[in-house]
Structure 1
Amino acid sequence: MKLKWAYGCEVRDGNPVMIRKDSLWEALGLPWQEHKVLAFVGGGGKTTSMFCLADELAEQGKTVIVTTSTKIRKPEKRLVVEAETASAVRDFMKAHEEFFSAGKGQVLVTGLSSPEGKFQGMELSELEKLGGLCDALLVEADGAKMLPLKIPREGEPVLLKGTHAVIGCAGLDCLGQTWEEKCFRYELADQVFDREKGPVITPAHAARILTSERGTRKGAEKLEYRILLNKADDESRLSAGAEVLKALGNEWAGCCVITGHLEG
Structure 2
Amino acid sequence: MRLSDALHLTGAQSVALCGAGGKTTLLYALAEEARRDGRRVLVTTSTHILQPEETGVLHFFHEEQVDDFSSICLPGQIAVVGTPCGQKKITGIAPMNVDAAMQAADVFLYEADGSKRLPVKCHNATEPVVWFGTDTVVGVLGLSALGKPAQDICHRWQLDPLFAALPDKMLDTDDFVRLALECRQAAGYPHNFTVCLNQCDTDGLRDAAREIASQLAIHGISCAATCFAGAQPEITAL
The yes-or-no answer on 1:205 pairing with 2:175 is yes
Between the aligned partners of 1:259 and 1:145, the Cα distance in structure 2 is 20
The residue that corresponds to 2:202 in the other structure is: 234
Q: Deviation string for 1:109-128 (max 9, x for gaps)?
A: 11111122212213222233
Equivalent pair of 1:179/1:200 in contact (CA under 8 Å)? yes
Match status 1:82 vs 2:53: no
The one-letter code matched in structure 2 to 1:220 is G
Q: Give the Å deviation of 1:162.
A: 0.5
| Structure 2 counterpart of 1:6 | none
Instruction: Give matches, 1:155-170, under 5 Å.
Output: 155-170=126-141
Which digits, 9 at most, give the CA deviation of each residue in 1:158-201, with x for residues without a partner?
Answer: 111101110000000111111111111101002xx599566121
Query: Are positions 1:151 and 2:130 aligned together?
Result: no
Q: 1: CA distance between counterparts of 2:46 and 2:128?
A: 9
Q: Aligned to 1:57, which of 5, 25, 34?
A: 34
Letter in 2 for 1:111: G
Distance 1:27 1:154, change over 3 A: same
Aligned equivalent of 1:119, options 90, 101, 107: 90
Q: Which runs of 5+ in 1 are unaligned?
A: 1-21, 94-99
Q: Could you tell me whether the CA contact under 8 Å between 2:157 and 2:164 is conserved in 1?
A: no
Report if aligned partners of 1:65, 1:109 keep a CA contact under 8 Å in 2. yes
* RCO comparison, higher one (Cα < 8 Å, 6+): 1
* Alignment CA distance shift 1:194-1:118 (3 Å): closer
Give the counterpart of 1:259 among 226, 230, 233: 226
User: Deviation digits for residues 83-126 of structure 1, max 9, x if unmatched?
Assistant: 13763544545xxxxxx2xxx42211111111222122132222
Q: Is the contact made by 1:39 and 1:141 (CA closer than 8 Å) also made in structure 2?
A: yes
Q: Which amino acid aligns with 1:219?
A: A
Q: In the alignment, is the contact (CA less than 8 A) between 1:82 and 1:111 conserved in 2?
A: yes
Letter in 1 for 2:44: T
CA RMSD of aligned residues (A): 2.3
**Aligned twin of 1:23:** 2
Counterpart contact for 2:69–2:100, Cα < 8 Å: no
Report percent identity of matched pairs: 28
For residues 61 and 186 of structure 1, do their structure 2 counterparts lie closer, same or farther at Cα, with a shift above 3 Å needed?
Answer: same
Q: Distance in 1 between matches of 2:88 and 2:213?
A: 37
SS of the residue corresponding to residue 67 of structure 2 reads helix
Q: 2:236 maps to which residue?
A: none
- 8 Å CA contact 1:44, 1:146 repeated in 2: yes
User: What is the identity, as a one-letter code, of the residue corresponding to 1:32?
Assistant: G
Distance in 2 of aligned mates of 1:118 and 1:125: 21
Equivalent pair of 2:163/2:169 in contact (CA under 8 Å): no
Corresponding pairs, count: 227
Cα–Cα, structure 1 residues 85 and 151, in superposed 2: closer, same or farther, change >3 Å? farther
Residue 136 of structure 1 corresponds to 107
Distance in 2 of aligned mates of 1:202 and 1:68:
30
CA contact (8 A) 2:42 2:105 kept: yes
Give the counterpart letter for 1:83 in structure 2.
E
Return the match for 1:174 from 145, 157, 161.
Answer: 145
| Higher mean C-alpha deviation, range 238-247 or range 40-49 | 238-247
C-alpha separation in 1, matches of 2:64 and 2:208: 42
- Render the CA deviation track for 1:199-233: whole Å, top value 9, x for unaligned: 12111011111013xx3541333211101100112
